[in-house]
Each structure stands twice: as structure tokens, then as C-alpha cells.
Structure 1
Amino acid sequence: MKGHYSNILCVLSDTHRQDDVIAQAVHIAKSHQATLTLMLSLESLPPNANMVMESFSYIDSQSSMETQAQDWLRNQAEKWEEKYPTQTKVSIGSPLIDIITNVIQYQYDLVIKRAEESFLDRLFGSLDMRLLRKCPCPVWVLHQKCTSQYKNVVAALDLNYHYPKHEISVRKKLNADILRHAIQISLLEFSQLHIVHVFDAVPENIVRDGFITVDNDQMETDLAKIHAEREQALEDLLQALEGELAPDTMDYLKPQKHIVHGYPRREIAATTKSLDTDVIVMGTVARLGVPGFIMGGTAEETMNQLNCAVVGIKPAGFTSPITLADAND
């Protein structure tokens, strides 16, 4: 069975402990029968690098740095060639721009990268987050502890369609795309598929701080209505997708549905952790159709609480703010 991805770019940000990252990228590429390119993407040296690094004769210029990097990557790739054919490339410059312009130029349909582990990266906006915001294709961020096979796959959906009309169709298409990716991963990994949706009738901080008075009986009635509405929205989505899949696919997958009442910024991650999730597939664009609202607070807060791999999906028609022209700047 051929998978969802056909042309994969695996990004390495350094030369430390990358064997498990490459192994996982090979596993994903093999599962999807995709071509695989390993790209070592490094920051360019500062203008005064020769002076600062004078005592390090083995890396005294940009060109020698590139030569060293290419030699290292070539040696790494040779270890995996017997398991799966790979291509290699080295880029030295601005990793964000280099990665995205390569995605555009060579039409990669998936970027794989290991999650950064620095607290400062999370605090000030890591390369991972910037890729999830701006990369035009899906980005698969591996957890620090890579696993050889996924047992539980989560599709995180936003089934709330109480938005302006121009946003609703885009949101529905994004939900369908998230579920398509999750289904493919689940089928190829022989894993359990979970569908998670978290809804909140009244933001809890408003109730907690006493800004409004809530009738508990009426609230329970409203919550039941919302739950039924979201169940129906999910059922409609599954029925629409069933026609695209091979017969009996849904019966084989037996997806488990989790429609949870709670605060989305907390409960999406909490539910995901309770399911012992290996990978979550989720949308990475908030307020669709509103310029500048990329990677909203809920998505970013959720990702910073997760301890599993993340596949970030953009809506159809998303255009990266980075273009091929940026590669020449």
C-alpha cells in the first residue's frame, strides 16, 4: 500500500545523536514508499568567524565548514543506504529560509525534523515552531525519544463551525485533510486511530473570575446540545471520507472517538497524553482567512505540552510568506 507522502525531506540541525532521527525518517519513507533526502541545515558563520575561531584550524572558513559537513553527512548516509536509498544535501545560511525554499523548489510533500529541546527555543520561537507556521507542506516533528513504530495515532479536530461563512468550508476541508493524514499513518503503522475534539461552552476563566453568572442546569443542557452537534459533525466527516477509502477501511481501523468538554489549551494535550499517543496530527493555522493569524495560541500552547511526535497540517491554499526569492537575499 502506497502512503500519503512521496517526496520527503529529513532535516538535521546538527551532527549529534542523529542515528535515531535518520532511522525514523527511513522508517517513515519506507512505509510510504517515498523518496528520502537528508539535509544538514546549519547556521552560517558570523562575519568575524575567522577571528573568533582562530584557534580551531579545522574549521577556519565557511567553505571548510561546508566540506566537513558534507563529509559527515555522506558517511552517515552510507550507513543507511543498505536499508533505504537516500539523497543528501548540505545548506549553510538561514535554516528556515533554506528549508522552505528547498521545499518549494523540489516539491517536498513532508518535512521531518527532530524536536528542539532547549527551553529558550520554546520561549523565543524555535525553528520547529517557525516551520510549523510557515512551511507550505506538512511538518513532522519527531519527539526527542524516537520510537520505531507508532501504536496510537491521534487526529485532533476542531469541529466548531460557528465562524464566519467564508471560514467554515476551509475549516471543514482542513479537518478532512488532518483525518486523511492520520488514517494513512494509522494504516501503515498498524496502529490505533483516535479522533479527539475538545469543546468549551464558556471560557472557564470568565466563569471562575465571576464575570458572568451561569445557571448550572441550563449549562448542562447546552453542553449536551454542543456534544450532540460535534458528534454529528464528526459522523458527517467520517461518512464523507469513507467514500474515498477502500471498502471496510473504517471497520478495520475502528477509530476511537473522544469528544471532550474542557479548556482546549489544556485538554487537547491532557487527552493526548492519557491515550499514550505516539503521534498527533493537527492543524497549525488559527483564524483561517485572517492574515497574520498563523499558529494561534491554542495550537502553540498544546504543542508545548505534548510529549509525542507532531504532524502539522496547513489548510488548502496556504501560501508561505517565504518565497524562492528569499534564498538569494
Structure 2
Amino acid sequence: MKGHYKNILCVLSDAHRQDDTVAQALHIAKAHQASLTIMLSLEALPPNASMVMESFSYIDSQQSMETQAKHWLKEQAENWGEQYDVSTAVTVGQPLIDVVHYVIRNDIDLVIKRAEESFLDKLFGSLDMRLFRKCPCPVWIINHKPRSQYKNVVAALDLNYHYPTHEVSIRRDLNRDILQHAAQIALLEFAQLHIVHVFDAVPENIARDGFITVDNDRMETDLAKIHSEREEELERLLTELSNELDENVWEYLNPQKHIVHGYPRREIAATTTSLDTDIIVMGTVARLGVPGYIMGSTAEETIHQLKCAVVGVKPRGFESPISAE
């Protein structure tokens, strides 16, 4: 089976302990029969580097750094290329802008990167999160210790369509795309596909703090209606997906449904953990026309809680606020 992706870019932020990252990128590229480019994207030296670093003999200038980086990547690529044909690229500047420019100019349809480990990165906005917000193609952030094969794949869907008509169509298309990405990964990895949707009738903290009065009997009735509504929406999506696949492929895929009542910012991650998830596919931008808008922070909070790989998918028609120029 040919995979979902055709042109993959694997982004390295440094030259340390990257073999596992590249091995995972090679595995994904092979599974999808896609072309693979490995990019070493480095921060430019600060404007005063020539003064600050005068006493260091191992570096002369930004040009020297770029030359050394290209030499290192070329040597590494000779080893990696023994497993699968790879191309290389080196950029020195602003990694976010450099990566997005490369994606747009080279028709990249998937970016792969190892998750950042620094607490300060998480606190002040890591490159990972900025790529989730602004990279025009799906972004696949892998674990620090990636698994050679996935066993459980989760598609996290937002089946709440109580929005203006134009936004509902965007959300439906985004759900379709998330489901297709997750199904492809599950099939190519011989993994179990799980579909997770978390719904919340009344925000738990508001009810708990007594800001509104809740009729428990009425609440139970409303919850049952919401559950039924979301189940119907999910069945529509699954019917569409099944119609696109051969009957035997659909039977093999056999997606498992998990419609959960709770606080989405907590329960998506909790359900993912309980399923021993290897990778979750989710939307990272919910609206068009708002550059970098990330699902009212629900996606961002969820991502920070996850211990598995993440594929972030944008809605159709999304344009990065970073231009190709």
C-alpha cells in the first residue's frame, strides 16, 4: 500500500543523538514510499558574536559554522543513505522561518522532528509548538525514544458542530483529514486505530464552584442527547472512510470508538494514556483567517500532557502567516 505522504522533511536542530530521530524518519519514509530530505536547521549567531567569541579558535564566523554543518551532515547522510535514499539541506538563521520556507518552496507534505526536551522551550514556546501553529503541512513530532513500530494509533476528533455554518464545514473536513491520516498510519504500521472524542456539557470547574445551578436529572438527559449526537456524527465519518477502502482493508482496520464525557483539556490526554497510545493525530488549528490560531489552547494544553508521538493537522485552506519570500 502506498502511503499518505510523498515529500517528507526531517528537521534536526543539532548534531547530538540524532540517529534515533533519523531512523524513525527513514522508517516513516519507507512505509509511505516517500522522498526524504534531512535538514539541519541551526540558529544564526547573534550580531555581536564576533566580539563575544574572539577568544575561541574552533569557530570563526557564521559562514564557518555553516560549512562545518554541511560537512557533518554529508558524512552522516552517507551512512543513512545506505538504508534509504536521502537528500540533505543546511540552514543557518531562524529555524521556524527557514523550515516553513523550505516546506512551501519544495512542496513538502510532512515535517518530522524530535520533541524538544528543555523546560524553557515548553515555557516560552518551543519550535515544536510554533511549527504546529504555523507550518502549512502536517507536523509529526516523535518521542525522545521512538518505538520501531506503533501498536496503537489515536485519532482525536472534535465532533461538536454547534458553530456558524461556514465553520462547521471546516471542522468536518478537518475531522475527515485527521481520520484519514490516522487510518493510513494504522494500516502501514499494522496498528490498532482508536478514535477519541471528549465532550463537555457544562465546564466542570464552573459547576463545581457553584457559579450556576445544575439540575442533575436534566443534565443526565442532556448528556445522553449529546452522546447520541456525537456518536451519529462519528458514524457518518466512519461510513465515508469505509467507502474509500476495500472491504477487507476496512475489516482489518476495525477502528475502536471512545466517546468520553469530561474536560477535554484533561481527558484527551488521560484517555490516550489509558490506551497505551504510540501516536495521536489531532487538529492544531481550528479556524481559518486567524494566523496561528490553535484551538482555543485546548490542543496546546493537551500536547504538553502527552507522552506519545503527535501528528498535528491543519484545516484545508490554511495559509501560514510566514510567506514563501
Identify whether the pair has TM-score above 0.5, normalized to the shorter chain.
yes
Equivalent residue, structure 2, for 1:291 = 290
Q: Is the 8 A contact 1:142 1:309 kept in 2?
A: yes
Partner of 1:52: 52
- Deviations for 1:38-63, whole angstroms, at most 9, x for unmatched residues? 00000001122122122322211111
- Using structure 2 for the length normalisation, give the TM-score: 0.98
Query: Match for residue 20 of structure 1?
Result: 20
CA contact (8 A) 1:58 1:64 kept: no
Greater mean alpha carbon deviation, residues 46-55 or residues 61-70: 46-55
AA partner of residue 146 (structure 1): P
Give the aligned length: 324
Q: Is the 8 A contact 2:134 2:292 kept in 1?
A: no
State the SS of the aligned residue for 1:248. Answer: helix
Matched, 1:130 2:130: yes
Residue matched to 1:253: 253
Any gaps of 5 or more consecutive residues in structure 1? Answer: none
Structure 1 counterpart of 2:183, one-letter code? I
TM-score of the aligned structures, taking structure 1 as reference length: 0.97
Distance in 2 between residues matched to 1:103 and 1:292, nearest whole Å:
17
Match for residue 221 of structure 1?
Answer: 221
The question of whether the paired residues in 1 share the 8 Å contact of 2:291 and 2:320 is answered with: no
* Other-structure match for 1:80: 80
Matches of 1:126 and 1:99, distance apart in 2: 14
Give 5+ residue unaligned stretches, structure 2: none
- 1:92 maps to 2:98: no
Who is 1:275 aligned against? 275
How many angstroms apart in 1 are the aligned matches of 2:289 and 2:213? 32
Q: Give the structure 2 partner of residue 175 of structure 1.
A: 175
Q: 1: CA distance between counterparts of 2:244 and 2:259?
A: 24
Identical residues among aligned pairs (%): 73
Q: Do the aligned residues in 1 keep the contact of 2:133 with 2:292 (CA within 8 Å)?
A: no
Q: Distance in 2 between matches of 1:175 and 1:248?
A: 23
Which amino acid is 1:186 matched to?
A: A
Equivalent AA in structure 1 for residue 180 of structure 2? R
- CA RMSD in angstroms, aligned pairs only: 1.0
Q: Give the letter aligned to residue 109 of structure 1.
A: D
- For 1:51 and 1:259, how far apart are their aligned partners in 2? 59
Per-residue CA shift, 1:105-160, capped at 9, x if unaligned?
A: 00000000001111111111111000000000000011111111111100000001
Task: Call closer, same or farther: CA 1:314–1:11 in 2, change over 3 Å.
Answer: same
Per the alignment, in what secondary structure is the counterpart of residue 238 of structure 2?
A: helix
Partner residue in 1 for 2:152: 152
SS where residue 174 of structure 2 aligns?
helix
Quick one: structure 1 residues 20 and 322, their matched pair in 2 at CA, closer, same or farther if it must change by over 3 Å?
Answer: same
